[in-house]
């Protein structure tokens, strides 16, 4: 006996596939160079990204460092620093640091006004320290104060050298300006 096909009513209908969406093709020009061949093509465009939030204000301490100074200016700064630090040669010898600072002021100060100004200021400070050291050493009571004077003078000289290394003019407090232009 042959099997009869089942009745049509008992068969489940097959599901229909979802409709295929057809989009309009985008016509593009032919690439003109090999770079255009390698460049990715964008078919659909996304909405533009939102603008970035505004940058917070920059604090003065966090500001970008200034551009490097030209070599001539850098060289002048270091001669000014050298003049201020010559105090450490003037303290034990009384005159050697002053002589070197005087020569720096006279020889290199002609070409660079910053070196001229800072060397003259350092020379004035060294002369003041030498005079105060001699006056204190002349009295037996002031002799122990000479060491304290030298320590204070060394600290102030290093502060002046730091200012000069940044290109800032430094004035020593409470000294007599003996050497002028």
Q: What is the pLDDT of residues 28-70, one digit of tens each?
A: 555 556 656 565 555 556 677 888 888 777 665 544 555 555 5
* Number of independent structural domains in the chain: 1
| Euclidean distance between CA atoms 146 and 132, whole angstroms | 8
Of 53, 56, 127, 118, nearest in space to 82 by CA: 118
Is residue 135 one of the residues assigned to a domain?
yes
Is residue 65 one of the residues assigned to a domain?
no
Is residue 96 one of the residues assigned to a domain?
yes
| Euclidean distance between CA atoms 78 and 70, whole angstroms | 13
Tell which phi-psi region holds residue 105, choosing left (phi > 0), alpha (psi between -120 and 50) or beta. Answer: alpha
Of 104, 129, 136, 134, nearest in space to 117 by CA: 104
Q: Model's pTM, two decimal places?
A: 0.58
Is residue 1 one of the residues assigned to a domain?
no
Domain extent at residue 84: 71-165
Is residue 122 one of the residues assigned to a domain?
yes
Is residue 156 one of the residues assigned to a domain?
yes
| Euclidean distance between CA atoms 165 and 175, whole angstroms | 22
What pLDDT tens digit does each residue of the chain (181 aa) get?
A: 566 665 555 566 677 766 666 555 555 555 556 656 565 555 556 677 888 888 777 665 544 555 555 555 677 788 899 898 888 887 777 778 888 888 888 888 888 899 999 999 999 998 999 899 889 888 878 888 998 999 999 999 999 999 999 999 999 998 888 888 7
Contact in structure between 121 and 180 (CB atoms under 8 Å): no
Q: Across the chain, what does the average pLDDT equal?
A: 77
């Amino acid at each position: 006996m042959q099997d009869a096909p089942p009745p049509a009513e008992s068969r489940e209908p097959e599901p229909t596939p979802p409709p295929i969406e057809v989009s309009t093709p985008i016509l593009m020009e032919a690439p003109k160079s090999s770079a255009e061949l390698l460049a990715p093509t964008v078919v659909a465009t996304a909405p533009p990204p939102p603008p970035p939030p505004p940058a917070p204000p920059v604090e003065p301490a966090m500001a970008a460092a200034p551009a490097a100074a030209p070599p001539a200016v850098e060289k002048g700064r270091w001669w000014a620093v050298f003049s201020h630090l010559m105090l450490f040669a003037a303290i034990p010898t009384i005159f050697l640091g002053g002589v070197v600072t005087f020569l720096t002021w006279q020889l290199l100060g002609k070409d660079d006004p910053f070196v001229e100004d800072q060397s003259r200021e350092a020379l004035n400070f060294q002369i003041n320290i030498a005079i105060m050291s001699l006056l204190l050493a002349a009295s037996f009571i002031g002799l122990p104060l000479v060491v304290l004077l030298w320590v204070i003078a060394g600290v102030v000289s290093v502060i002046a050298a730091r200012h000069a290394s940044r290109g800032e003019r430094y004035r020593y407090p409470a000294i007599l300006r003996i050497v002028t232009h």
